[in-house]
Amino acid sequence: MAPDFETPQARPPLGSTPDDPFDDSHGHPADEPPAEFSDLHLHRAEHKAAGPEAVYHAMKKVSREAGLVRGLTILTKVNQAGGFDCPSCAWPDPEPGDRASFEFCENGAKAVAAETTTRRVDRAFFARHSVAELASHGDDWLDAQGRLAEPMALLPGADHYEPIPWDDAFRLIADELDALDSPDEAVFYTSGRTSNEAAFLYQLFVRQYGTNNLPDCSNLCHESSGAALGMSLGVGKGSVRLEDFRQADLILLVGQNPGTNHPRMLTTLQAAVEHGAKLVAINPLKEAGLLAFAHPQHVRGMLGISTTLADTYLQVKINGDQALFRGLCKALFEEEARRPGEVIDRAFVDQSTAGFEEYRRAVGATSWDEIERRGGIDRPRIEALARRAAATDRIICCWAMGLTQHRNAVATIREVVNFLLLRGALGKPGSGVCPVRGHSNVQGDRTMGIWERMPDRWLDRLGAAFDFHPPRHHGFDTVQAISAMHEGRARVFFGLGGNFLSASPDTHYTSEALRRCRLTAQVSTKLNRAHLVTGRTALILPCLGRSERDLQAGGEQFVSVENSMGIVHQSHGPFSPASPHLLSEPAIVARLARAVLGDRSTVRWEWLVEDYDRIRDAIGRVVPGFDDYNARIRRPGGFPLDHPVRDRVFPTPDGKAHFSDAPLGGVEPGPGQLLLMTIRSHDQFNTTIYSRDDRYRGIHNERRVVFLNAEDMADLGVSPQQPVDLTGIDPDSHGRPRVARRFLAIPYDIPRGCAAAYFPEANVLVPIDQTAEVSNTPASKSILITVSPAARPGS
Ligand SMILES: Nc1nc2c(c(=O)[nH]1)N[C@H]1C(S)=C(S)[C@@H](COP(=O)(O)OP(=O)(O)OC[C@H]3O[C@@H](n4cnc5c(=O)[nH]c(N)nc54)[C@H](O)[C@@H]3O)O[C@H]1N2
Ligand SMILES: Nc1nc2c(c(=O)[nH]1)N[C@H]1C(S)=C(S)[C@@H](COP(=O)(O)OP(=O)(O)OC[C@H]3O[C@@H](n4cnc5c(=O)[nH]c(N)nc54)[C@H](O)[C@@H]3O)O[C@H]1N2
Ligand SMILES: [Mo]
């Protein structure tokens, strides 16, 4: 089916004039925040995280958004038993008895403040601002306008959103879905804040409608972890629990920045250090939150007295981790040769693993030269760490996006598992794998069936419970969905949360994909760029946030979520909704399902949402591990899902854990090229920008910066704070260069050949077709670029 170009929003043919707003050489101007500088102030990078400054910055944001008194009340309810789950990260809460009265962190407080703001984006707001005008603002401005207050529609040809009654909005979506040639021409995206209850209903609706097109933010995030752990261990989730951190001797923190992205993890790490664990950081940047932590809720921390965290810091090259872990394993084999029977856990390896001999040969065939060149860490330092690992089997490896977003991400994570397997450091207290999840319920959404490739036996149970035949052919993941929309194979986009445009790779390509849709509809709490780069018709469907009271016919409801360690627990929003026109996510899904499926559906949609216990009963009948859900979810602190690896059971086809002997891979920059990683600042939550500061890295009031090695800058002839353009090495599929324009060059402590810039500003550089093998996650931390002095704006 040919894409529809007869719309004011669609791109004109190639070759339009440069002063045309649809300047084809750089894509549509609305796609990205304006390439304007603010007013950069540089400070020294910090060497410790949190402390009194964290409280100050949290309170500043909270009182500005929600008011001081209201803000303080709100914060006392975060992550308390009977309160609501912090909408920020997925780090677990301590047992109920162990929780502080303020169980939140600076960045959790900012996320809560952003949701509980008193400002509103209502019909008067949209009457004042055209879509084109809104797009000319930065992403921080868009978010700061407040909570979306009522359903809005952007009709074909219109330049303003207008109010639309809920029923008309559902009818409009139903008509567009009915008009498709096949259900597979619709895409149903999910972001990871969605509750278990909403996610379960959503996938049920989508599968009853007839497709498995359920891409989610996980495809951009920890998909590589799930794939790697599934192949190696048979379970795609982490195996450690909070108590393991108190029992561990050695904790490796690889490719993650917990001081910013999982600040509550620092409390856990501090306790681990106090119990004798040694922490090792593996990261190209010296992140403050890996160096030291001053607990902002303890007297010592408030006085600025900090605990040293990592005692060893390996500043690996970007994407050098597979080589580094191969080196650690090589050093373990060599140590074993010197002390036979003392280093490799042969009993475990022989009994519980497969592929050991092949792996031993692969390690033997990998030279120290290659390991040092690719990883950037020299052999003596690798051997020193290996000796420490040889002395204990209580080893935990933690990681996040620094490992998952590379071409060879799955092989890298499997190499981390190889290291633990050699030491038998799985299924024992104080040991295991800990992929640190991002969104607060991204793991739960997957458990509830948000996946384009749910296994057949899961679909069998779903079909049996609701008396229908779920589609079996796999759906689109996020990257495949973008290409399908671009090529006209998908024509309706529906998003349950998130910001599909700015979170996705290859911004201009993704923008074209969205603009070619007949309809783009998003369930959202806040305004974002995906509301401004739309299909022929667009809908904004505003929903309740986590912090808000959810009243249904059966009374006040709570929802449930699963954290990074597989603990399922309640979340109960205590505050008045931002607007009387908001619906809960489960209610939106149920009413949409009724409008689309009508009497075709075997599900009593309205009845289910009257009382979420009914949804949980249904979940209990379909999802393994959720029997008696309603009783167990009412236990204080919730309940843990079983993790067989904790008992050394590996549910792979042959019941063994598998070594991976993949060759070292990934991209290495050629002469004049750099490898760019796109990372988060301290003041953003994914695509939501709270401010232009990145306090720990010493950046104030600017996001258009690129961190470079000073010697590389000298070689390139670039001076500090000089405006530069970043150009991708791979041309995109139209042969158009990928250029991220106007970034200030910042000399920084980063290995040679490496560079860093913020996401989403640098997403224009992430090629849609450069994805991780197996997981298909965009390689947004392995982007080959060149750096050149900035072209003047407009030239
Ligand atoms: N406040 C706040 N909290 C968040 C989020 C947020 O945006 N803001 N996002 C949430 C989400 S969805 C997620 S997924 C997580 C993300 O949490 P992180 O993964 O911590 O986020 P990133 O900023 O992408 O940081 C990646 C880290 O990996 C390092 N790194 C990059 N490339 C490499 C590499 O090749 N090797 C190694 N060893 N290190 C590398 C970077 O220097 C950086 O320290 O945080 C969650 N929590
Ligand atoms: N280059 C590059 N790209 C990346 C990454 C990277 O490191 N580098 N990281 C990737 C990762 S790890 C992730 S997880 C994705 C994130 O991708 P997404 O999850 O799609 O993006 P978010 O920015 O988290 O979504 C923010 C929007 O969610 C909506 N929202 C907030 N709370 C709620 C709620 O309770 N309900 C509903 N319905 N909507 C809500 C608001 O409208 C807000 O504007 O981005 C990915 N993109
Ligand atoms: Mo994420």
Does residue 615 lie in a domain region? no
The residues, any chain, with a CB within 8 Å of residue 346's CB and separated by 6 or more, are none
Any atom of ligand 1 within 6 Å of the Cβ of 287 = yes
Instruction: Look up tokens 């500003």; give the residue.
Output: 761
For atom 21 of ligand 2, the residue with the nearest CA is 498
Residue 733 has pLDDT above 90, yes or no: no
Does residue 610 lie in a domain region? no
Atom of ligand 1 minimally distant from the CA of 319: 35
Number of domains within the chain: 2
Q: Is the peptide bond before 760 cis (omega within 30 degrees of 0)?
A: yes
For atom 12 of ligand 2, the residue with the nearest CA is 221
Burial degree of 637 (CB within 10 A; 0-12, 13-18, 19+): middle
Taking the CA of 530 as reference, the closest ligand is 2
Any atom of ligand 1 within 6 Å of the Cβ of 316 = yes
Q: Six-digit token pair at 651?
A: 């549910």
Query: What CA–CA distance (Å, rounded) separates 498 from 509?
Result: 18
The answer to whether 431 and 420 have CB atoms below 8 angstroms apart is yes
Query: What CA–CA distance (Å, rounded) separates 662 from 423?
Result: 19
At 480-526, the pLDDT tens digits run: 999 999 999 999 999 999 999 999 999 999 999 999 999 999 999 99
Any atom of ligand 1 within 6 Å of the Cβ of 684 = yes
The average pLDDT across 3-9 equals: 33
The residues, any chain, with a CB within 8 Å of residue 459's CB and separated by 6 or more, are 207, 470, 472
Q: Six-digit token pair at 9?
A: 């929003």
Ligand 1 centre to CA of 58 (Å) is: 20
Q: How confident is the model at residue 12 (pLDDT cuts 50, 70, 90)?
A: very low
Does residue 704 lie in a domain region? yes
Residue 26 has pLDDT above 90, yes or no: no
Taking the CA of 676 as reference, the closest ligand is 1
Residue type, 100: A
Quote the distance between the C-alpha of residue 347 and its chain's center.
38
Name 658's bridge partners: 354
Residue 2 has pLDDT above 80, yes or no: no
SS3 label, residue 437: coil
Any atom of ligand 2 within 6 Å of the Cβ of 255 = no
Q: Mean pLDDT in the chain?
A: 93
Any atom of ligand 2 within 6 Å of the Cβ of 400 = no
Q: What is the pLDDT of residue 17?
A: 33
Q: Six-digit token pair at 35?
A: 């390439």
The average pLDDT across 31-56 equals: 91
Atom of ligand 1 minimally distant from the CA of 678: 24
Torsion of CA 269, 275, 278, 283, to 10 degrees: 0
Any atom of ligand 2 within 6 Å of the Cβ of 498 = yes
Q: What is the pLDDT of residue 53?
A: 86
Strand order across the beta sheet in which 395-399 lies: 310-314, 278-282, 250-254, 395-399, 432-435
The answer to whether 195 and 615 have CB atoms below 8 angstroms apart is no
Residue 630 has pLDDT above 60, yes or no: yes
Any atom of ligand 2 within 6 Å of the Cβ of 528 = yes
Any atom of ligand 2 within 6 Å of the Cβ of 687 = yes
- Domain-ending residue, one of 405, 435, 465: 435
Residue 22 has pLDDT above 60, yes or no: no
Higher local confidence (pLDDT), 541 or 295:
541
The residues, any chain, with a CB within 8 Å of residue 610's CB and separated by 6 or more, are 552, 553, 554
Ligand 2 centre to CA of 775 (Å) is: 19
The residues, any chain, with a CB within 8 Å of residue 597's CB and separated by 6 or more, are 205, 208, 209, 603
Query: What CA–CA distance (Å, rounded) separates 652 from 355?
Result: 13
Q: How confident is the model at residue 793 (pLDDT cuts 50, 70, 90)?
A: low
At 476-489, the pLDDT tens digits run: 999 999 999 999 99
Any atom of ligand 1 within 6 Å of the Cβ of 478 = no
At 738-790, the pLDDT tens digits run: 999 999 999 999 999 999 999 999 999 999 999 999 999 999 999 999 999 99
Any atom of ligand 1 within 6 Å of the Cβ of 681 = no
The boundaries of the domain holding residue 360 are: 235-435
Taking the alpha carbons at both ends of the chain, their separation in whole angstroms is 37
pTM assigned to the model: 0.95
For atom 13 of ligand 1, the residue with the nearest CA is 438
The answer to whether 511 and 502 have CB atoms below 8 angstroms apart is no
Q: What is the pLDDT of residue 734?
A: 58
The answer to whether 586 and 225 have CB atoms below 8 angstroms apart is no
Atom of ligand 1 minimally distant from the CA of 285: 42
The answer to whether 485 and 187 have CB atoms below 8 angstroms apart is yes
Residue 6 has pLDDT above 50, yes or no: no
Q: Nearest 5°: CA angle at 234, between 228 and 236?
A: 50
Q: What is the pLDDT of residue 109?
A: 87
The average pLDDT across 239-261 equals: 97
Angle subtended by helix axes 478-486 and 507-515, to nearest 10: 60
Q: What is the pLDDT of residue 19?
A: 36
Any atom of ligand 2 within 6 Å of the Cβ of 542 = no
Q: Nearest 5°: CA angle at 309, between 306 and 311?
A: 125
Ligand 3 centre to CA of 442 (Å) is: 8
Angle subtended by helix axes 409-422 and 321-338, to nearest 10: 20
Tell which residue, 700, 665, 668, has the closest CA to residue 682.
700
- Domain-ending residue, one of 392, 412, 435: 435
Element housing 132 (H / E): helix 131-135
Neighbours of 199 (CB within 10 A): 29
Any atom of ligand 2 within 6 Å of the Cβ of 686 = yes
The average pLDDT across 154-160 equals: 97
Does residue 300 lie in a domain region? yes
For atom 44 of ligand 1, the residue with the nearest CA is 257
- Domain-ending residue, one of 390, 405, 435: 435
Does residue 508 lie in a domain region? no
Q: Six-digit token pair at 114?
A: 């952003």
Any atom of ligand 2 within 6 Å of the Cβ of 266 = no
The average pLDDT across 161-175 equals: 98
Does residue 781 lie in a domain region? yes
The answer to whether 521 and 514 have CB atoms below 8 angstroms apart is no
The answer to whether 544 and 582 have CB atoms below 8 angstroms apart is yes
Ligand 3 centre to CA of 222 (Å) is: 7
Query: What CA–CA distance (Å, rounded) separates 760 from 681?
Result: 10
Atom of ligand 2 minimally distant from the CA of 522: 38
Tell which residue, 392, 116, 345, 224, has the closest CA to residue 773.
224
Q: Which of 207-216, 237-246, 640-649, 733-742 comes out lowest in average pLDDT?
A: 733-742
DSSP letter for 18, please.
Answer: T
Query: What CA–CA distance (Å, rounded) separates 64 from 82?
Result: 26
Full 3-state SS string of 118-147: CCEECHHHHHHCCHHHHHCCCHHHHHHCCE
Instruction: Look up tokens 């995906």; give the residue.
Output: 530
Residue type, 232: S
Query: What CA–CA distance (Å, rounded) separates 64 from 110?
Result: 10
Query: What CA–CA distance (Å, rounded) separates 25 from 737?
Result: 8
Ligand 2 centre to CA of 231 (Å) is: 27
Atom of ligand 1 minimally distant from the CA of 282: 38
| Residue percentage of the chain with pLDDT more than 90 | 84
> What CATH number is attached to the domain comprising 316?
3.40.228.10
Element housing 688 (H / E): strand 688-689
Residue 699 has pLDDT above 50, yes or no: yes
Higher local confidence (pLDDT), 746 or 88:
746
Does residue 697 lie in a domain region? yes
Q: How confident is the model at residue 88 (pLDDT cuts 50, 70, 90)?
A: confident
Higher local confidence (pLDDT), 82 or 90:
90
> What CATH number is attached to the domain comprising 753?
2.40.40.20
Name 567's bridge partners: 640
Q: Which of 58-67, 229-238, 711-720 comes out lowest in average pLDDT?
A: 58-67
Any atom of ligand 1 within 6 Å of the Cβ of 687 = no
What backbone torsions phi and psi does residue 691 show, to the nearest 5 degrees?
-160, 175
Does residue 306 lie in a domain region? yes
Residue 654 has pLDDT above 90, yes or no: yes
